Amino acid sequence: MLERAGHVVTDFGTHSTESVDYPPICAAVARAVRDGKAQFGIVMGGSGQGEQIAANKVHGVRAALCNDLYLAEMARSHNNANVLSMGGRVVTFDQAEKILEVFMTTEYEGGRHERRVAQLAEIEQQEGAR
């Protein structure tokens, strides 16, 4: 879907149906976003929860678990989320495409939300200094 829409896609895995340790993969996706190699990242797992947690360990990343359209819109418009996490056991392929489209096309509102996003970054910096 993304390639059909003209986006460049870098696939970080997995490439089998075998169980895999997802934290390194999710961190690699998040680092690509943080380092400016990708505008957005997408991580998926069974529920999407662990993948979101792993991506959020990377400084500068705001990963959001969005298993519906409303959460995808709010993640972008209010939190300027830059990594989307979804659960493959929670959303259908059709729903995942719709969530992705909302996530990628929703603009960050800024305004009153800027203060809060800045506070998140400040907490991240404080915790990194420990």
Average pLDDT score over residue span 109-123: 94
DSSP assignment of 13-36: ---SSS----HHHHHHHHHHHHTT
Average pLDDT score over residue span 14-31: 92
Fold of 23-128: Ribose 5-phosphate Isomerase B; Chain: A, (3.40.1400)
Maximum Cα–Cα distance across the chain: 45
> What is the pLDDT, as a whole number, of residue 130?
64
| Range from 22-26, 59-63, 121-125 carrying the lowest mean pLDDT | 121-125
| Mean per-residue pLDDT of the chain | 94
| Domain ranges, ordered by start, for the chain | 23-128
> What is the pLDDT, as a whole number, of residue 129?
66
pLDDT tens digits, one per residue of 83-115: 999 999 999 999 999 999 999 999 999 999 999
pTM of the model: 0.93
Measured in whole angstroms, the distance separating CA 25 from the mean position of its chain's CA atoms is 13
Identify which of 31, 95, 37, 35 has the alpha carbon closest to the alpha carbon of residue 66. 95
The answer to whether the CB of 86 falls within 8 A of the CB of 67 is yes
For the annotated catalytic residues, the residue numbers are 51, 78
